[in-house]
Structure formats: structure tokens, C-alpha cells
């Protein structure tokens, strides 16, 4: 007798993997949306590699994101981020977690559109704040009122994130469930494009 839970996950994996094909699955959204944690699980469920673009930027530059911002400023950081994303998206399939500002950059967004299927992990302010206020590793939140800064980023960036191919609501549920919802969205995107 087969395990029904295992069968559901296996079925999701097979269908999502077929829908994705050779494309990369690129997770976009604000800091704290769950791109890295959900991305790792989705990659594991799909049986493909996971890459965190911020970790890759830190690896190639031998500097932390915070150090890069401090030394070169946001504009230079975004240029480096764009070059790294372009390289990462040449191969596939893989799951790629992006930094919060990557999709906002026109050039990087074009690389993402060409090299993958973009999924916006959309979260409300309270969910994001609960996740990011415990760490001080967010250079854009080193302000007098970081929660207001986060809200301002939401207001500025959400219209651009809405250009992603798919949207999945990020909320306080198990990360495994969020990853399954991402896979379901990938499956549904194939069904909708075939209709």
C-alpha cells in the first residue's frame, strides 16, 4: 500500500518538473518573503539545484552584501547583481532565489524573463516585518524607522513584482506547504498557457 502523502508530493514533482522543462524557476520578492527557504525546498522537491543569487554574489566578490553596499553603493551593487544573474540563468533548470532589488532592475528583469519562469512571493507588511526585524543584515533597513522603510519599499516595488509570471501568497505557514504552492502555480501556468 502506497503512502498517499508521498504520492501527492511525487505527483506534484513530476507535473511541476514537466511544466518547468529546461527553464529556471526564479523567485522574486521583498526581503523576508521566503525566497531562499522556500526555494531550497522547491528545488529539493523538483530534484534540481538551488542557487541563492545573494550568496553567489558574495562568493564571487568575496564580500558580504552589506560590505558591497558600503564600499560601492547600490548602483554598483545592482550592476554586479545583474551580471551574476545573467550568468546564473544561462544554465538550467534550477531554482534561483533573487535579492529583493534584482527584479526591480530593468536589465536584470529582462535576463530573468528570458532565462526563467518568475514567481513573486508576495507577503503583507506584518509578515515581512516579523521575519526581517530580528536581523541587522539588511542594508536597506539601516534607517531611523526600518518598518516604514520596508513599507515604502513595498509601495515602490510591488507594482514591478506584479510583472512576474506567477504570484504566490507568502504567509505564516510551513515552508514545505509554501514550496508545494509554488509547484502548483508552475503546473497551473502550463495548463493556462495551453488553454
List, in sequence order, the alpha helices (H) in 89-174. Answer: 106-115, 125-132, 146-161
Is residue 193 one of the residues assigned to a domain? no
The number of helices, as runs of H, and strands, as runs of E, in the chain is 8, 5
Looking up cell 529539493 gives: 44
Is residue 42 one of the residues assigned to a domain? yes
State how far the Cα of 25 lies from the Cα of 105, in Å rounded to an integer: 18
Cell numbers of 7, please? 504520492
Is residue 83 one of the residues assigned to a domain? yes
Q: What is the pLDDT along the chain (195 residues), one digit of tens a residue?
A: 455 555 666 788 899 999 999 999 999 999 889 999 999 999 999 999 999 999 999 999 999 888 888 899 888 888 899 999 999 999 889 999 998 889 999 999 999 999 899 999 999 999 988 888 876 666 566 767 788 888 999 999 999 999 999 999 998 888 999 999 999 999 998 655 544
- The length of the chain is 195
Is residue 173 one of the residues assigned to a domain? yes
Q: Which residues of 78-110 are buried (b: 16+ CB within 10 A; e: fewer)?
A: beebbebbbebbeebbbbbbbbbbbbbbeebbe
pLDDT at residue 69 in the model? 85
Distance, first Cα to last Cα, the chain: 36
Is residue 191 one of the residues assigned to a domain? no
pLDDT at residue 137 in the model? 62
Is residue 188 one of the residues assigned to a domain? no
Nearest to 9 by CA among 181, 165, 173, 193: 181
Q: How many CB atoms lie within 10 A of CB 16?
A: 24
pLDDT at residue 195 in the model? 45
Is residue 116 one of the residues assigned to a domain? yes
Q: Are 139 and 188 in contact (CB under 8 A)?
A: no
Cell numbers of 81, please? 547583481
Q: Phi/psi class of residue 160: alpha, beta or left (left: φ > 0; alpha: ψ in -120 to 50)? A: alpha
The CATH number assigned to the domain holding 145 equals: 3.40.50.300
Write out the residue range of the structural domain in which residue 178 sits: 4-183
Q: Which residues of 22-39 are buried (b: 16+ CB within 10 A; e: fewer)?
A: ebbbbbbbbbbbbbbebb
As beta bridge partners, residue 28 has: 120
Q: How many domains does the structure of the chain reveal?
A: 1
Is residue 12 one of the residues assigned to a domain? yes
pLDDT at residue 192 in the model? 55
Amino acid at each position: 500500500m502506497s503512502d498517499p502523502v508521498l504520492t501527492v508530493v511525487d505527483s506534484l514533482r513530476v507535473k511541476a518538473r514537466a511544466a518547468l522543462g529546461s527553464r529556471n524557476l526564479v523567485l522574486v520578492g521583498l526581503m523576508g518573503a521566503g525566497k531562499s527557504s522556500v526555494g531550497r525546498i522547491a528545488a529539493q522537491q523538483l530534484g534540481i539545484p538551488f542557487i541563492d543569487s545573494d550568496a553567489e554574489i558574495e562568493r564571487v566578490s568575496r564580500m558580504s552584501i552589506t560590505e558591497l553596499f558600503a564600499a560601492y553603493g547600490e548602483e554598483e551593487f545592482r550592476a554586479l547583481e545583474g551580471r551574476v544573474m545573467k550568468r546564473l540563468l544561462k544554465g538550467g533548470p534550477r531554482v534561483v532565489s533573487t535579492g529583493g532589488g534584482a527584479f526591480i532592475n530593468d536589465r536584470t528583469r529582462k535576463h530573468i524573463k528570458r532565462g526563467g519562469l518568475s514567481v513573486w512571493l508576495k507577503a503583507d507588511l506584518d509578515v515581512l516585518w516579523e521575519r526581517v526585524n530580528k536581523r541587522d543584515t539588511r542594508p536597506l533597513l539601516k534607517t531611523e524607522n526600518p518598518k516604514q522603510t520596508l513599507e515604502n519599499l513595498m509601495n515602490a516595488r510591488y507594482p514591478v513584482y506584479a510583472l512576474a509570471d506567477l504570484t504566490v501568497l507568502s504567509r505564516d505557514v510551513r515552508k514545505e506547504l509554501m514550496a508545494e504552492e509554488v509547484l502548483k502555480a508552475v503546473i497551473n501556468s502550463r495548463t493556462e498557457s495551453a488553454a
